[in-house]
Amino acid sequence: MCGIWALFGSDECLSVQCTSAMRIAHRGPDAFRFENVNGFTNCCFGFHRLAIVDQLYGMQPLRIKKFPFLWLCYNGEIYNHRTLSKEFDFDHQTKVDGEILLHLYDRFGIQKMASLLDGVFAFILLDTANRKVFLGRDTYGVRPLFKFLTDDGFLAVCSEAKGLTDITRATASPANIVALLPGHFEAFDLKQSGKVQSVQMEPFHCCTKEPAHAVYDTVERLPTSMKETVKGNIRALFENSVRKRLMAQRRIGCLLSGGLDSSLVAATLVKLAKEEKLQYPIQTFSIGSEDSPDVLAARKVAAHIGSEHHEVNFTAEEGIQVVEEVIYHLETYDITTVRASVGMYLISKYIKEKSESVVIFSGEGSDELTQGYLYFHKAPTPKAAAEDSVRLLKELYLFDVLRADRTTAAHGLELRVPFLDHRLTAYYLSLPEEMRTPKHGVEKHLLRDSFKDLNLIPDEILWRRKEAFSDGMMSVKKSWYVCLQEHLESMVNDDQMEKASKTFPHNPPATKEAYYFRQVFEKHYPGQAEWLSHYWMPRWTNASDPSARTLAIYEPDKDSTLQAS
């Protein structure tokens, strides 16, 4: 996890502009560098470093002797950098995983370079010899990247939008701050003046397609026939996904909510850490009130897998106190995203202050991939469910992936999400539509069935019902979001609600909770409501609230073994 920032063609003095780069300092607490580009006095890079791989040579912008005309600023991890280096016989100057981008770009050009990267990344690549600037972002947008481009060619780029909101520019016309689309790269011509012109914007990978780097992977291409083979393939790809993400020189930990997804990640991580002979036990972290379903389930899983388990006690009051901070870090006002981010923000704060873990594994992406949301039970056809699964994956960068990145980055942690591995997702999405739907009233049936009878996690967890993170943190009697709504009832008056659609014509808030979130967002990011195209809501139901607990199909966990004794 790092923070990257760059300007091309600034009209204002760079020393004034660079104060904006400090707004993302939380992303890289280990070091900071600000560097001008030779020959282009109005172009510069800013970099906040969180040192994970190659402590010695990891500062950026990354430049090597072989390609003095290339400048690279990137945030992410390239898991197959050694494999590709060996395959193409590249001569590396450093041990930095990102150096592979320079070699691949020089050999193959930008499109093939981006498609061969197995990992999560956002990059800014400058080629002064050919006067080009390139931006790129991984398939699911696990790593963020924002930009604005003025009419006269001033380009500003940053990991988070907050690093762009205060940049001064000569033209009065507003420059829209937009997220770079996941799975895309954009190419710009760089003029002698330092200004740029966008010349190409193209996708390099879509989640439904086998990634180009698969041919160099350690797990061979897999058949999609026969049920037992399929389950074995899912396990092999998932284990491979966790294994490749062990690449780190800092301590690894794991978020553990006690749900299926985080439990599978934590159990596989502990298993592989022993096989790879990591010199420390894996720490797992859960958050919730003392009698919450999540805390009780996570305790059970931690005991089963033998992790060093930490429980963070959570009260509604603590959650309410940090809502504004959380919205500032998130840069969104989406209802379910804000609710679920509060717990993740507080647990990340605990990890930063009370543990040595820096690289944090988590279960994001599984619900979208494996049709885990309760509303999938209502899907009219398997085809409709499969299409919605792909829609959710393509929108992850606006919701769960955004939450997971910002809440951990706020505290200088690096997130790793094995369920969003390119090979795993492409394979799972290639399976017959009927195979992926809920079965026997149980969502994610295929995923659960794939890990049956292995004793990897306790059986009652393997078959535990979906519980949203923002719901499961509090007791069954009263959800966290209900506590939040009750508190916010007095913060917004009925008069304001009546005028809500006039005050906020884009995505007008329908509840006092949504209105309050929007107010806080507008306070920090006035006029930027369009960063969120739409609210996250369940499909195929008449739901007016995103919480799973409001759906008719929801039933609280009745398994007595998970209740506090």
Instruction: Give the residue ranges of the annotated binding site for ATP.
Output: 255, 287, 362-363
- Contact 358/430 with Cβ under 8 angstroms? no
**Distance (Å, rounded) from C-alpha 311 to C-alpha 298?**
9
**Distance (Å, rounded) from C-alpha 42 to C-alpha 155?**
11
Query: 502-524: b or e for each residue (b if 16 or more CB lie within 10 Å)?
Result: eebeebebebbbbbbbbbbbeee
Run of H or E including 196: strand 196-203
- Which of 88, 158, 144, 135 lies closest to 116, judged by CA? 88
Helical packing angle, 293-305 and 260-275, nearest 10°? 20
Helix/strand/coil for 419: helix
**Distance (Å, rounded) from C-alpha 486 to C-alpha 283?**
35
The two structure tokens encoding residue 110 = 């930008």
Helix/strand/coil for 185: strand
Backbone dihedral region of 157: left (phi > 0), alpha (psi from -120 to 50 degrees) or beta? beta
Annotated binding site for L-glutamine: 97
Greatest CA separation found in the chain?
72
Q: Among all chains, which residue has been given the structure tokens 């499909």?
A: 539
Q: Among all chains, which residue has been given the structure tokens 């990247």?
A: 145
Q: Per DSSP, which regions of 40-129 are E strands?
A: 40-49, 70-78, 119-127
- Choosing from 2, 158, 207, 254, the catalytic residue is 2
- Is 18 known to be catalytic? no
Could you tell me the CA-to-CA distances from 282 to 94, 258, 270, 275, 305 in Å, in that order? 29, 16, 6, 13, 10
Annotated binding site: 97, 255, 287, 362-363
Residues annotated as part of the active site = 2
